[in-house]
Structure 1
Amino acid sequence: TETETETEKDILYESSWERDYVVDRLIDALRKAGLSEEIIPISELEAERTGNYTRFVRELLDFGQKKRAEEWIYRGIKKLREYRPGTAYELSQTLIEIKENEENWLFVAALETEEFFRFPQLSSYIRMQKAARKIGKWKEIREAALQYLRCGKLPANQPKTTDEFSILPGILPKTGLLDAESLEKIKSPALGLLIQIAIQEDDADEVIHWYGELKSGKGEAEKTRRFTLEEEIANAVKDKYPEVAIGIWKNIAEDLISKTKVSSYEEASMYLRKIKEILESIGKIEEWEAYLRQIREANRLKKKLLEILDQLEKNRIIGR
């Protein structure tokens, strides 16, 4: 409608931090002057005009108007989700806090699960896990989340004509905020996140499985993701799969050495030390010594590197 179009235009182009600053100062002055009854009307007007629902909701809660605050949270999320996802997220977090204070853990779990499927990342997965465990439904919710990351299968498979539905029917309640269009359509399998989750859950077998999938990817995105995660992967699997960790550390160390900078040599020595410690711990000292000789031979003209390697070798001898 024309009114909606005007509102959207206001939200997109008229709201600014300068205006918010002035209004915040005005509200502060009204409060100090004992004119608190003027604060709610001004905050409501600004919410409508500029999209600052966060301030209005905060004021409603401060004045003890929780029910009305919830109504405006819903209104704000639905109106701003597309145009201001950051503000919509702030409002959803406020709603979660309200429900936590009420100890309505089932509703909290539903909100956190919806949030994960909107913004799938490790932090939202952990919050979802915490909420799901409070209601004893982590097994079911985890399986739905992993199916989504592995296959791209969204759990809420109701027709788009449905006005309101649950993210996990039969397990979680309807929140009134689930919009099928707002759920993230991912490229599955979401290898980076699956690896992060496996690391977080201390599942070395799963880390190895998804790392193998990641290594087989040919695209630049896969390569970038792989290099970003490899150090975490090595630390996660070093006890159960030392050869994988050693392979990763060798690649990192050799890449750093190739940059021919003293700072890079020093950084490389940290990974070489990791290799040395693992190989010695599993009784493969000869393999370490052979690898060190190989590094020396390949870089025999790099005087500074050789000095660093000498120090590394000296530390090993002293430690015997």
Structure 2
Amino acid sequence: MAVVLEALPHSSLPSAEQLIWVIDHLLEDDYSLLEAGEKLLESPQYGEQDWQMAARSLQVLLNSEGAPGASRRYQRLRLVGRLQVAYARGGWHERILPMLEREANVCWNYEQLVDALLAAGERERARQWCIQGYAKTVQEARGIAECMREKLHMLALTEGQYDLACAYRAERFFSQPSLAAFSELREAAEQADKWGAVRAAALAFLETGLPPDLGDDAQVLPRWPLPPSELAHLHGTSKPSVQRFPELDLLISIAILEQRHDDVVALYRRLPKTPSWNWDTEKRVAEAVAASHPDIALAIWRAIADGLIAKVQPSAYVEAAGYLRRMRQVYQACQRDDEWQALMVHLRKTHKAKRRLQEVLDNLSGAKLV
């Protein structure tokens, strides 16, 4: 195909038909294999009239397709994108917005439509299409819906409506709580000068599972300081599943982020005492509180090291040495070298039959503290 594309501009095929041939094949390329075809479309040898003929061909193709189901929506979206480019390069800019608006509820090209409206200075129309696009896609295409919410957030931000911009960040946090969403919420709330009340409500939500204004007792949750977003009437504030709460892992991550080490330890002690397959939360806790609560860190690293040694694998012994090395650093920082030596003696006696482990312990004991 690369050879054909290279020869195409030099063929006897009229320029407009060359364009149409390349675009047709690009529309059939589901794996983005025809990069040379994309480059060919950039060639200055194709003028406005060529692109207008290509646009007419694409419009006929678009009109011939019926309403797409979910499986065909992506293909129609690609066709709409090609037609938008053809209109622009053919000088038919006035046709772009009407076409995108006709297609919005058909192929869900809301992002392209909103971007085009904003580029044309049509902020209010863009806002309304964001709301409509969110309502249309929130159940079936969460990614598109989140894109619409993000654009509404940016509109509010650029208009200086910091409370409203923060409300969109809050919606995202309460619907999909994560450390990244919490950090975004903090940035927006600080800009709106509402972080104290917003933070209290967010932490209460992670404990109870109740978003603001959903509590039966108004005194249970902090007063919510933000206005409803322009999407609030579409999805309400549904109550999340109580089985997920309290979100101890996320509460711990936030406490680590805020360097509230006493709270990190208190939350860690509330975790279910069940074996962890990767010790991810425990590792983060140990690293965070090694200086402020050394015994907690030592206990975590000891448990991880013991678990690795129990695998009876040379690679696991080496990995265990990494956690033992962390323990040695804490013991020495706390001037508790005798406890470190006692641990080494205990491990040697307990696992005296594990020759490869003994070698690892020899290297660990003889290494200088870095």
Q: Give the TM-score, by structure 1 length.
A: 0.85
Aligned match of 1:280 = 332
Kindly state the Cα deviation for residue 52 of structure 1 after the two structures are TM-superposed.
2.4
Aligned residues of 2:302 and 2:324 also touching (Cα < 8 A): yes
Aligned match of 2:302 = 250
Identity of aligned residues (%): 31
Gap regions ≥5 residues in structure 1? 1-9, 160-166
Structure 2: distance between partners of 1:182 and 1:51: 25
Structure 2: distance between partners of 1:35 and 1:156: 50
1:156 is the counterpart of 2:210: no
Aligned match of 2:22 = none
Aligned match of 2:201 = 144
Kindly state the Cα deviation for residue 104 of structure 1 after the two structures are TM-superposed.
1.9
Aligned match of 2:147 = 90
The aligned amino acid for 2:101 is: E
Aligned match of 2:119 = 62
Aligned match of 2:228 = 174
Match of 1:33 among 90, 94, 98: 90
Q: 1:239 is paired with a residue of what secondary structure?
A: coil
Greater relative contact order (Cα 8 A, min sep 6): structure 1 or 2? Answer: 1
Structure 2: distance between partners of 1:153 and 1:204: 25
Residues 83-232 of structure 1 aligned to structure 2 (within 5 Å): 83-157=140-214, 171-178=225-232, 179-182=235-238, 184-186=240-242, 187-216=244-273, 223-224=275-276, 227-232=279-284
Structure 2: distance between partners of 1:242 and 1:230: 13
Match of 1:271 among 323, 329, 345: 323
The aligned amino acid for 1:251 is: A
The aligned amino acid for 2:303 is: N
Aligned residues: 297
Structure 1: distance between partners of 2:165 and 2:277: 32
Aligned residues of 1:192 and 1:225 also touching (Cα < 8 A): no
Structure 2: distance between partners of 1:93 and 1:289: 56
Kindly state the Cα deviation for residue 271 of structure 1 after the two structures are TM-superposed.
0.6
Gap regions ≥5 residues in structure 2? 1-66
Kindly state the Cα deviation for residue 279 of structure 1 after the two structures are TM-superposed.
0.5
Aligned match of 2:35 = none
Q: 1:85 to 1:13 in 2, by over 3 A?
A: same
Aligned residues of 1:12 and 1:83 also touching (Cα < 8 A): no
Aligned residues of 1:265 and 1:305 also touching (Cα < 8 A): yes
Q: 1:120 is paired with a residue of what secondary structure?
A: coil
The aligned amino acid for 2:293 is: Y
Q: 1:214 to 1:195 in 2, by over 3 A?
A: same
Question: C-alpha deviations, 1:229-271, integer Å up to 9, x for none?
Answer: 1100101111111001011101111211222222222211111
Q: 1:111 is paired with a residue of what secondary structure?
A: helix
Question: For structure 1, which segment, 290-299 or 172-181, has the greater mean C-alpha deviation from structure 2 after superposition?
Answer: 172-181
Question: C-alpha deviations, 1:11-37, integer Å up to 9, x for none?
Answer: 862544333223222222221121222
Q: 2:270 is paired with a residue of what secondary structure?
A: helix
The aligned amino acid for 2:291 is: D
Kindly state the Cα deviation for residue 213 of structure 1 after the two structures are TM-superposed.
0.8
Question: C-alpha deviations, 1:79-121, integer Å up to 9, x for none?
Answer: 2112222111111111112222223211111111122111111
Question: For structure 1, which segment, 77-86 or 231-240, has the greater mean C-alpha deviation from structure 2 after superposition?
Answer: 77-86
Match of 2:367 among 296, 299, 315: 315
Kindly state the Cα deviation for residue 183 of structure 1 after the two structures are TM-superposed.
5.5
Kindly state the Cα deviation for residue 168 of structure 1 after the two structures are TM-superposed.
8.5
Structure 1: distance between partners of 2:340 and 2:210: 46
Q: 1:87 to 1:168 in 2, by over 3 A?
A: farther
Q: 1:259 to 1:225 in 2, by over 3 A?
A: closer
The aligned amino acid for 1:33 is: G
Aligned match of 2:40 = none
Aligned match of 2:61 = none
Structure 1: distance between partners of 2:330 and 2:215: 52
The aligned amino acid for 2:236 is: A
Aligned match of 1:71 = 128
Aligned match of 1:301 = 353
Structure 1: distance between partners of 2:237 and 2:195: 25
Structure 2: distance between partners of 1:204 and 1:158: 29
Aligned residues of 1:14 and 1:50 also touching (Cα < 8 A): no
Aligned match of 1:162 = none
Q: 2:210 is paired with a residue of what secondary structure?
A: coil
Question: C-alpha deviations, 1:133-168, integer Å up to 9, x for none?
Answer: 112211111111111111223212399xxxxxxx99
Kindly state the Cα deviation for residue 293 of structure 1 after the two structures are TM-superposed.
1.6
Question: C-alpha deviations, 1:192-247, integer Å up to 9, x for none?
Answer: 1111111111111111111111045x6xxxx5498331100101111111001011
Q: 1:279 to 1:257 in 2, by over 3 A?
A: same
